Amino acid sequence: MLTLNLSHPVCLQHQGLEGHPERPERLLAIKQMLDHPYFADLVREEAPMGRREDVLRAHPQEHLEFIESFHPEDLIEQVDADTYMNAYSLDAAMIAVGAATRAVDAVLLREFDNAFCSVRPPGHHAEANRAMGFCLFNSVAIAANYARDVYGADRVAVVDFDVHHGNGTQNIFWSDPDMFYGSSHQMPLFPGSGGLNETGEGNIFNAPLRAGDGSEQFREAYEARILPALDAFEPDILLISAGFDAHQNDPLGSLELKEEDFAWVTLKLMEIADRHADNRVISMLEGGYDLAGLASSTGVHLQALMRGTGEGDVPNYQDL
Give the Cα separation of 86 and 75 in Å (integer).
6
- Closer residue to Zn ion, CB minimum distance, 49 or 211: 211
- Closer residue to Zn ion, CB minimum distance, 98 or 122: 122
- Closer residue to Zn ion, CB minimum distance, 92 or 277: 92
Q: Under rule CB under 5 A, how many of the chain's residues touch Zn ion?
A: 5
Query: Could you give the count of Cα atoms lying within 13 Å of 303 in the half-sphere of its Cβ?
Result: 24
- Closer residue to Zn ion, CB minimum distance, 98 or 243: 243
Q: Is 162 in the site for Zn ion (CB under 5 A)?
A: yes
Q: How far is the CB of 247 from Zn ion (least distance, A)?
A: 11
Which bin fits 278, alpha (ψ -120 to 50), beta or left (φ > 0)? left
Enumerate the active-site residues.
125
- Closer residue to Zn ion, CB minimum distance, 21 or 48: 21
Q: Is 120 in the site for Zn ion (CB under 5 A)?
A: no
Q: How far is the CB of 155 from Zn ion (least distance, A)?
A: 26
Q: Is 166 in the site for Zn ion (CB under 5 A)?
A: no
Are the CB atoms for 50 and 103 separated by under 8 Å?
no
Q: Among residues 256, 236, 231, 230, which one has the least CA distance to residue 245?
A: 256
Segment near Zn ion (CB under 5 A); pick from 196-204, 210-218, 237-245, 270-278: 237-245
Give the Cα separation of 68 and 302 in Å (integer).
33
Give the ranges where the chain is alpha helix by DSSP (H): 25-34, 52-55, 61-68, 89-108, 139-151, 167-173, 215-221, 227-233, 259-276, 291-307
Give the Cα separation of 160 and 167 in Å (integer).
11
Segment near Zn ion (CB under 5 A); pick from 61-69, 258-266, 282-290, 307-315: 282-290
Q: How far is the CB of 194 from Zn ion (least distance, A)?
A: 12
Q: Which x/- pattern, by CB under 5 A, does the window 241-280 give for Zn ion?
A: --x-x-----------------------------------
Q: How far is the CB of 72 from Zn ion (least distance, A)?
A: 24
Q: Which x/- pattern, by CB under 5 A, does the window 285-304 give for Zn ion?
A: --x-----------------
Element (H, E) at 3: strand 3-7
Residues 6+ apart with CB under 8 A from 60: 128, 129
Q: Among residues 239, 265, 260, which one has the least CA distance to residue 248?
A: 260
Query: To the nearest 10°, the Cα dihedral for 241, 162, 199, 281?
Result: 20
Segment near Zn ion (CB under 5 A); pick from 99-107, 109-117, 210-218, 238-246: 238-246
Segment near Zn ion (CB under 5 A); pick from 90-98, 150-158, 255-263, 283-291: 283-291
* Site residues (vs Zn ion, CB under 5 A): 162, 164, 243, 245, 287
